[in-house]
Structure 1
């Protein structure tokens, strides 16, 4: 039953009913905006915390600790016959020079165990430093020079503050005696932190202070170059055919559905496909940029095709009609008129696909890119690894020094990803045309 107004009460006007509902609607809208803004702030906060944690752990990897020692380049050790033969100089015992310098700096160390601890303060890569200096300048033989030598990773962690000197000796990797030697060298100004060029010039190593990302960077570079060469022409060609020339029937509908489904397939499935087809059937060398590029091409093709088709759809039909009206063939219309206008969108989709490929790890693990490879790759068929896989390997290492290198490598990878996405945005804004 309809309720009637009470006797003597004025009837409600329509405007009063609307005003009452407006207050509720405005309140709901404010609540919705608050919830949406809270969700955005919460998401950005977590991303900010993630970035802050990575930077806090990884920024110290860009500097490395060096110890200055007076090294006597003794001729009897380096060049007994005085021939200055590079082969003889390359095989000389440079470790002996470092040990002599340490004993000269700390003459009171005589116990065998203490001597071993003293020698371990210098990196096992320091003799290579001395060898390179002598090969570059043989006139150093017979002289005494103050040389900055690479410190061991434990000493590096101690100097950077990652090892608490106030902890009991049995709770830290560096003994009290070594801490005393470090403090003595610090007081003399013989310990310094310098920019870590090794991180960008060396390949990986089992010694943290000698480990670098040069091999992984070159492997990623070769892989992305091949992926771009394979995926871009195939993806653009497939998009043009499906959008402009393919007949609309069940087969093309099936192809379109499969392309959309492939864009959502887990990446590790493409790694299994590469292992079963490219390596097992076609015999492509395992753990090379070539096989990695083939796998990543399959993975990025759906993204490029979908983005390219969307770019083609954004070109107005009038462009096609005008070109056909002046006598251009359908192929000429696409190549000379439609494709140049759609290219910015295609490039944007391609760069986003390449950024996705740069950060992939799972499919590359299946094709052997997890191998421990020290040498920097020199070509598309050289054994190599890539930056995400290198991060995965370092994250599994127990040494504290690898923790900072893992975070530093993540920072480098994120920098490349941000740069690639920023390039895509700039390309779209620079060349995009609104109709």
Structure 2
């Protein structure tokens, strides 16, 4: 049995142990609290970064939409136009050639004079004529070309007004400032007010924005030419970059020996993915235009340049998709007697294809938004006509946005924002397609 002194010593030792354990526990708890606080701060920083990014994204969209939504409607004036073969200068001719050379602008001016017979001064009439767009003559030409029987009758049409009157009707010109500080004078404001009181002016859906090519006049400018140019350019890019990129990825991943040369090739592919896009434009200018003599400002040249830029992205994405296929798939196919090529074509490629397509769609979306390399090969040219083939002169949506953003007219500001909205819609659609494609075909191993 332990003596009283031993019991006292044991009790003291136990107290010391308990005291040390208590201090250790307090230290650990203090450390845990500090780590918990650090974790909470880190989570708060992450949440704050996400909120800030969302706020900036919302601010971007609100700014673009706020400036561009008005471009989807156009101010139009209802005109009643008296037509005759003599007044049009074509006599009794009704063929296409005669209708093309007819003087439609004179009929528009005559209709305006009939609407306001009290306007007799030379300057006032010139201001009156300037309130209606040149597109009014085109609208009359199209109506008579579609139905020549209308010649000799009174034709009622909705015609576009000039861009300044359009801005006035949309409330983007302050009519209270001094006359010298605005582009619409007091006489034109008075005519506009009379149109409003007569109920002949109003907003209509801007079909020209989606059916016309570029124009020096904002009210007639559209994105259809640039959209067709982008389509042809992306078709050429996809037709070249996808098969070449997939073939290169399959060779490097499945067939190429692992040595210093393949390592060098892989490093260069990864480096090419980070090269500024304008470098590819300089390469395209030197090789495709100057050496091979390809047509300047043509979608085929733009597609070749974007193919060079897109290849590293597709190769890297395709190799990652091939690596994601389990080795057991290859081993099972080879064990059943399939050749190396049969294994790749019949088993590995079908399983890796969703990842390849996802990378390709993302690469194509990236190519759709490129401007710098296309500027180098001349796709910045002012092109009015809609391109019919990839060999015709054309521009693309990003370059069209660049051109409009550089225009001094106020009406081009809203059309620039509207074109950005259309481009963003295409990009969001392509990225959403990539996500849906991966979700649909993704397999869990």
Is the shorter-chain TM-score for this pair beyond 0.5, marking a shared fold?
yes
Is the 2:242–2:314 contact (alpha carbons within 8 Å) kept by the matching residues of 1? yes
Corresponding residue SS for 2:157: strand
For the residues of structure 1 that align with 2:330 and 2:398, how far apart are their CA atoms? 44
Is the 1:78–1:141 contact (alpha carbons within 8 Å) kept by the matching residues of 2? no
Match of 1:226 among 236, 239, 244: 236
Instruction: Give the structure 1 partner of residue 294 of structure 2.
Output: 284
Instruction: Give the structure 1 partner of residue 111 of structure 2.
Output: 101
Instruction: Give the structure 2 partner of residue 47 of structure 1.
Output: 57
Corresponding residue SS for 1:280: helix
Instruction: Give the structure 2 partner of residue 391 of structure 1.
Output: 401
Q: Output the aligned Cα RMSD.
A: 1.6
Alpha-carbon distance change, 80 to 263 in structure 1, aligned in 2, over 3 angstroms: closer
Structure 2: gaps of 5 or more residues:
1-14
Is the 1:65–1:194 contact (alpha carbons within 8 Å) kept by the matching residues of 2? yes
Is the 2:246–2:318 contact (alpha carbons within 8 Å) kept by the matching residues of 1? yes
Alpha-carbon distance change, 103 to 381 in structure 1, aligned in 2, over 3 angstroms: same
Is the 2:379–2:394 contact (alpha carbons within 8 Å) kept by the matching residues of 1? yes
Instruction: Give the structure 2 partner of residue 269 of structure 1.
Output: 279
Is the 1:79–1:89 contact (alpha carbons within 8 Å) kept by the matching residues of 2? no
Is the 2:90–2:102 contact (alpha carbons within 8 Å) kept by the matching residues of 1? no
Corresponding residue SS for 1:251: helix
Q: 1:313-352 counterparts in 2 under 5 A?
A: 313-352=323-362
Instruction: Give the structure 1 partner of residue 147 of structure 2.
Output: 137
For the residues of structure 2 that align with 1:120 and 1:387, how far apart are their CA atoms? 30
- How far apart are residue 87 of structure 1 and its match? 2.3
Q: What is the TM-score with the length of structure 1 in the denominator?
A: 0.96
Is the 1:359–1:388 contact (alpha carbons within 8 Å) kept by the matching residues of 2? yes
Aligned residue pairs: how many?
430
Structure 1: gaps of 5 or more residues:
none
- 1:219-238 deviation digits (Å, cap 9, x = unpaired): 10000011000000000000
Alpha-carbon distance change, 335 to 25 in structure 1, aligned in 2, over 3 angstroms: same
Instruction: Give the structure 2 partner of residue 60 of structure 1.
Output: 70
Match of 1:293 among 300, 303, 310: 303
Q: 1:6-405 counterparts in 2 under 5 A?
A: 12-78=22-88, 81-405=91-415
For the residues of structure 2 that align with 1:265 and 1:144, how far apart are their CA atoms? 62
**Which structure is larger by alpha-carbon Rg, 1 or 2?**
2
